[in-house]
Structure 1
């Protein structure tokens, strides 16, 4: 698709996919309840927010809530070849937490509660390609990846890329077929390409024909095993009354030192989702975060410097980018972040 046509389509979708988001008091959140133990949905669906106390094996302790969502979500993208060019089906999706309206999201981006229609609304489009399908399609990649361990407790999603081959589908009005060149263009636009879209596509990357890594899989696995032995975190569910350094106001739950995040409560009205209005809690960061990779060519092969982390919500250590700092703009003045100086250099 020509960039000119893509931009025109995006502008048109921004006008059509409208969402009004209002902050409300906790007492006004319909179908949700907060008690001393958790914030939860009356239908026992979607997610809950639970307060925890965490203790490291060096006796460092901290208190924070985490989102509990035991369901495994689906992040799926459909692919097809048109005149020898690969195209990917994305949707213009508006979410209550988006900074600037729509984002180009995966073909299917849904929790189990959503695609089982616990909200009482419309069905999830194109779901039949990803669940129990008997179509003549090819699964290019399927990876189960964890969500952020600083926000969620052991939450994961299936990242799936499917080639529909000769299967014919009807394109719904807020969906669009884009090429790799279109995706490269969208990556340079702020807050437009959904992170889940990037996650699905990056999970399908194949290694180079000639690849000479200095670490094989066993080395990587040994690093995580070492971290698991070195860093142990005990967790205990507590009450909101015992959530040290946090305070509950009539319309939000906040950390006294502006660490972690705040919990806000919203009322949403929209013309372009499965239901037209609903209420929900939402997690909101205090400051901009930073993620960055250092890349170096070794043995004529690009190598990426990974960081092993054991976050509160992870059951075991995971690899992340070289630098991965939540609320970076707050911590920059009082925390020594390794390799940060390399990201500051303009050369």
Structure 2
């Protein structure tokens, strides 16, 4: 299977949808699928209520999600105790992509979707991107197209199927089903959908804000790892060849997978992280105004509200609360080539919203504006190495949006920066890991955070440079 996936990644021109045709189609979707998103007072939310006594913001149906308060205690952390708002959405949504072979090449059915939080409107999303409340039609809207392929996945060939986490600073233990299903027969391609090869999608990942977060996390779960992809490569080669070798399970890494798993398990065992939900109106350090709930220092994020009018969605008009981050973040892997094999420098990332407290994260993950001037904290000691890298060391550098259904204009600068293979970069907080090892871990829940999964998809896009 890894060879088929790699072959699709090397196919930069689709059999079904050529690049020029896609560009025309996508431009038309952008022109026609326009949503009016207007900031409104929190008190103007329709169908939502501020719960008396707690201040929580909840939907009157009892579904969708709530905005609650969270008390976090981590005695050995840089900040031993803090309070914050957080989204509680216990439902498991479906992020599903349909796959089909055309002329021997895997293609993927993608949707042009406008989310209220996307700063540029339309982005490419999975075939199905829906919460349980949405696909159960709690909102009274239309049905979700192609949903049956994922709810009845056992009837088809499943290429990937795993529950994965969402942003651990903004969601409280949120999970979605990331699934790719391959079909053989003809499928009606509805308006707003098109077939693309993995190579075409990888090319689009290099363009700011085209491939959305939900598509990236599902693409990262594709079975790239396996024996065979590196057999046709000659010695040496560029970054693309190093990525192909890194995806080949016959090629070794600096550390065996069991050691990597033990490393993160040990980190989880020694980390004391206790969280409890609390009334939103008792969260310390945050204040509520007419339009937002904000941190007293103007940092981190706001809870705000929008009114949305969108003719292409299952429901034409609605209001909802959203998280609006303060500033664009930096998400980066330092990478190196060891014996021609690409390794990434991963670290255990601790967030209050993770089910297991810790998941593998990128080398650097932060919003720089949230930190005071001066030396960075220990977990960000490679931030300057990323920001000051020479241009020829930067293998990937694109600004990409986060989930537009809950986050308003949330963007991160995703980067892969090559460095020398220095063993001194490793310590108790950082390890060199291959892509096939990350792929093995991605078969299971709660190993890679959503930002790391996005970066894995971005690194896979370098295969096209082979």
TM-score range, shorter chain: over 0.9
Per-residue deviation, 1:180:
2.2
Q: How far apart, CA to CA, are the structure 1 residues paired with 2:353 and 2:154?
A: 36
Asked whether the equivalents of residues 300 and 370 of structure 2 are also in contact (C-alpha less than 8 Å), the reply is: no
Of 47, 55, 65 in structure 1, the residue corresponding to residue 85 of structure 2 is 65
In the other structure, the counterpart of 1:19 is 35
**Structure 2 residue 370 is the aligned partner of structure 1 residue 324:** no
Matches within 5 A, 1:140-219: 140-165=159-184, 167-207=185-225, 208-219=248-259
Taking only aligned residues, the RMSD between alpha carbons, in angstroms, comes to: 1.6
**Structure 2 residue 149 is the aligned partner of structure 1 residue 129:** yes
Q: How far apart, CA to CA, are the structure 1 residues paired with 2:88 and 2:339?
A: 43
Of 20, 29, 33 in structure 1, the residue corresponding to residue 45 of structure 2 is 29
Per-residue deviation, 1:182:
1.4
Runs of 4+ in 1 over 4 A off after TM superposition: none
Per-residue displacement from partner, 1:177-233 (whole Å, max 9, x unpaired)?
A: 111231122111111111111111111132215320222332222222222233212
The gaps in structure 1 that reach 5 residues or longer are: none
Q: How far apart, CA to CA, are the structure 1 residues paired with 2:153 and 2:249?
A: 32
Asked whether the equivalents of residues 212 and 299 of structure 1 are also in contact (C-alpha less than 8 Å), the reply is: no
In the other structure, the counterpart of 1:83 is 103
Per-residue deviation, 1:300:
3.7
Per-residue deviation, 1:341:
2.9
Asked whether the equivalents of residues 108 and 196 of structure 2 are also in contact (C-alpha less than 8 Å), the reply is: yes
What TM-score, normalized to structure 1?
A: 0.95
In the other structure, the counterpart of 2:61 is 43
SS at match of 1:228: helix
Q: How many residues align?
A: 344
Of 337, 347, 352 in structure 2, the residue corresponding to residue 307 of structure 1 is 347
Per-residue displacement from partner, 1:55-112 (whole Å, max 9, x unpaired)?
A: 1123711110111111111111011111122211000000010010101000001111
Per-residue displacement from partner, 1:273-313 (whole Å, max 9, x unpaired)?
A: 00000010000101001111111222442211111012011
Q: How far apart, CA to CA, are the structure 2 residues paired with 1:139 and 1:292?
A: 30
Per-residue displacement from partner, 1:218-260 (whole Å, max 9, x unpaired)?
A: 2222222222233212223222332111010112111111232
Structure with the higher helix share, 1 or 2: 2
Q: How far apart, CA to CA, are the structure 2 residues paired with 1:72 and 1:335?
A: 40
SS at match of 1:78: strand
In the other structure, the counterpart of 1:256 is 296
Matches within 5 A, 1:98-117: 98-117=118-137
Of 322, 326, 338 in structure 1, the residue corresponding to residue 381 of structure 2 is 338
SS at match of 1:293: strand
Q: How far apart, CA to CA, are the structure 1 residues paired with 2:373 and 2:158?
A: 46
Asked whether the equivalents of residues 64 and 260 of structure 1 are also in contact (C-alpha less than 8 Å), the reply is: no
Q: How far apart, CA to CA, are the structure 2 residues paired with 1:240 and 1:77?
A: 36
In the other structure, the counterpart of 1:276 is 316
Asked whether the equivalents of residues 159 and 223 of structure 2 are also in contact (C-alpha less than 8 Å), the reply is: no
SS at match of 2:170: coil
What TM-score, normalized to structure 2?
A: 0.71
Q: How far apart, CA to CA, are the structure 1 residues paired with 2:215 and 2:372?
A: 29
In the other structure, the counterpart of 2:407 is none
SS at match of 1:201: helix
Q: How far apart, CA to CA, are the structure 2 residues paired with 1:299 and 1:134?
A: 41
Q: How far apart, CA to CA, are the structure 2 residues paired with 1:138 and 1:332?
A: 51
Residues 293 and 129 (structure 1), Cα distance of their counterparts in 2 relative to 1, 3 Å cut: same
Q: How far apart, CA to CA, are the structure 1 residues paired with 2:50 and 2:58?
A: 7
Q: How far apart, CA to CA, are the structure 1 residues paired with 2:374 and 2:87?
A: 28
SS at match of 1:222: helix
Per-residue deviation, 1:133:
4.8
Q: How far apart, CA to CA, are the structure 2 residues paired with 1:201 and 1:287?
A: 26
Q: How far apart, CA to CA, are the structure 2 residues paired with 1:83 and 1:71?
A: 39
